A and B are shown apart, each in its own frame.
Chain A
């Protein structure tokens, strides 16, 4: 069993929809949670960074962490075609060192 599980998709939604992306994990020591966005043929870029449980909002993006359920989510509101990318969750136990990545979910926003 992988430490971090993420549905690879693909996920296809119409423009303007609310998108929900999720990851589950098994290591209860994880405290730092991140979401990366990766466009085709590019390197991943950091999108959201949260510590411990709770919500964090940045523009159209909201990251949620539920440590009791070992479950994290990324919500994208008013999705745009430019949001089409692969989204990877990542987490670590200690100060973002040695991140463990999910497999990534491929998302397409259709105009």
Chain B
């Protein structure tokens, strides 16, 4: 039972490069989320998808795009990475009874 799987676990990017963070869940959850976690800032919602085919902005969406590929997969894309996007990114899924989180992606933009 894998739960929520995120790839990659670590990544270093140069300013201006692009990349996609992948997330997949095997719990048949309808809702999926992307958060970033920074020291002193807690977890901040970037984008979420309440159900397959829908996506909405969260608290800090600037510089990011998302795709809900199907019910299982929800990807986060950085089109032109900036040092301010250095963070730990968490994907989560839910069916209404609390979130299940992935193990995170540590991203450094230099």
With contacts A44-B90, A103-B42 taken as known, whether A95 is within 8 angstroms of B96 at the C-beta atoms is: yes
List B residues at the A interface (Cβ < 8 Å). Answer: 4, 31, 40-43, 45, 48, 50, 58, 90, 92, 94, 96-104
- Please tell me if the beta carbons of B50 and A97 are within 8 angstroms of each other in the complex: yes
Q: Which of A34, A44, A46, A49 has the most CB of B within 10 A?
A: A44
- Please tell me if the beta carbons of B101 and A43 are within 8 angstroms of each other in the complex: yes
In the assembled complex, A45 has its CB within 8 A of some CB on chain B: yes
- Please tell me if the beta carbons of B45 and A96 are within 8 angstroms of each other in the complex: no
List A residues at the B interface (Cβ < 8 Å). Answer: 6, 8, 34, 36, 41-46, 49, 88, 90, 95-99, 101-104
Measured in the bound complex, the distance between the Cα atoms of B31 and A3 in whole Å is 22
Q: CB-CB < 8 A to B96: which residues of A? A: 95-97
Can you show 20 pairs from A to B with CB atoms below 8 A apart? A8-B40, A34-B98, A43-B4, A43-B90, A43-B103, A44-B90, A44-B99, A45-B101, A46-B99, A49-B97, A88-B43, A96-B97, A96-B99, A97-B94, A98-B45, A98-B48, A101-B42, A101-B43, A103-B40, A103-B42
**Closest Cβ of chain A: how far from B41's Cβ, in Å?**
7
- Please tell me if the beta carbons of A49 and B41 are within 8 angstroms of each other in the complex: no
